[in-house]
Structure 1
Amino acid sequence: MSGRRPATWEQQAADDYDYLFKVVLVGDSGVGKSNLLSRFTRNTFSLDSKSTIGVEFATRTIQVDGKTIKAQIWDTAGQERYRAITSAYYRGAVGALLVYDVTKAATFENAALWLRELRDHADGRGAAVMLVGNKTDLVKQRGLRAVPRGDAAVFAEREGLSFVETSALDATNVDAAFETLLTEIYRAVSRKALSATAAAADDEARAVGEGQAIQVSSAGDSGGLTARCCAF
């Protein structure tokens, strides 16, 4: 007799999704990537800034255009301090949050390097990328801004990135950042699927001779529908 326990309703529900997208977090150590992840997936924030070693990921499911999207979000968890991130971290990623600290100019200057690495290892220029300026709470409370919003917006526009400023501490724009990125990924995937379907239909149409009857089947209809190609 198997000792495996049956899946609970909650476990079954967690596996009920239409799309699964892998998203990675990249950027310098200390910019708040782990707290962005925990705020979005668990609605928690930790003041303990110690980096953990290894790769961590968490998931959250959202609705986009009536579809259930499950995001598997990966965090470097300290590896960026040693430049030890491998291609396995990026493999299969269809989106990324490129994070910098709005109070530390160097983290923004390094964003270009992270973007290059991301594009080298992930899905080329096919991956959707959002530039995220984190820790705006420090700007509101202490006026510590070191990266002008306009400079970041110019960089994002030049590189074809989405852009938002966030605070993982007070949750400002965190959900919006992830949800905007996931929506962008979903719609890009949908466009590709539609293009592939249209191309296949076009190829099929070319393969059918003039005046030849073709069968168009619908689900549950064993008889189908008959259409006829007509010469013009």
Structure 2
Amino acid sequence: MAIAELAVETRTESGKGFARKLRSEGRIPVVRYGRQCPVTQYTVECVVIDKFLQESGASGLVALDVDGAGQNDELLSIIKDIQRDPVSGRVIHLDFYGVRYGESIQVEIPLVFEGKAIGVAEGGLLQPIRRSLVAKCLPREIPENIAIDVTALGIGDSIHISDLDIDGVEFDVSVDFTIVTVQTIAQEEEVAVDDDELSADETETETEAEAEDTGAAPAE
């Protein structure tokens, strides 16, 4: 995986008031921490981080360029957390986790489903259960995504996490999660009907309970 570079500036101030001031100036606070890594605080321009996330994504390796000193492999990191404004969706804070080349780390890797399942041609519906997987690997071996070929899946077939075998990448298979399956349309409709019936039963039960509390008869 290629290492992306991000230009940041050192900051010494912190707190909500300072964070608001930064955002009013078109910047956001950034923090970096990790095993054997001191907690370090930075700032980055909003336009820079927006472009960075659009071009490089949030799951790869990042080398920080601090105060214009150039890319520093000693500051190799992954994005640990992105906080966004609940209204605008704009990034308002970033957490970086410091990593070392020789130490395995836990990362979330997006899934890409390839091919057209046989079961879909037979009238089934491809149903992805997971869009990403948590895996453990060395920083240099983090894949940009995991491609899963669904071509051979017939109706009722599934791919589980235990079916994956990727060099240098370890998955937790203690719980053998289903990743993707092919269902019949009838199965989908049955699930929808069951959900509707359950909602109706819950509503009726709640109405009767409310009537008992108030002494009124349930509405018909």
Does the TM-score normalized on the shorter chain lie above 0.5? no
Greater helix fraction, Structure 1 or Structure 2: 1
Choose 1 or 2 for highest CA Rg: 2
Give the TM-score, by structure 1 length.
Answer: 0.25
> Which structure is richer in relative contact order (CA contacts within 8 A, separation 6 or more)?
1
